[in-house]
Amino acid sequence: MKTAKTLTSLLTIFSAMLSGGFWIRAATVKVLAQSQNVGVGYGGIPVNVRNHRGKVLDFLATYALQSKWNGWAALAALSGAAFFIVQRF
């Protein structure tokens, strides 16, 4: 029984760290724009923005990529919470 509790504790810690890593990745990911035009697009044209370092980013593609990483982070957090609940009983 002690081995099972130790294993679920380790899985909880691993899931929490994995979740944090995914959220850090979501916060730092960026997609460079294909063109140097900055401005609001219309009719499916990408919205390009200039970041604080002067690079032109595709805002919508970056948003979609951040959403993907946030989803993985949420799943890792959910698994960490589930392992914690299992460990407590």
Tens digits of residue pLDDT in 21-45: 999 999 999 999 887 777 766 666 6
On the question of pLDDT at 58 being above 80, the answer is yes
- The pLDDT value recorded for residue 38 is 75
Least confident of 16-25, 34-43, 47-56, 80-89: 34-43
Q: Tell me the mean pLDDT in the region 67-73.
A: 97
Q: Tell me the mean pLDDT in the region 77-83.
A: 96
- The pLDDT value recorded for residue 88 is 85
Could you give the number of structural domains in the chain?
A: 1
Question: Which of 73, 62, 83, 79 lies closest to 22, judged by CA?
Answer: 73
Instruction: For residue 59, give its domain range.
Output: 2-88
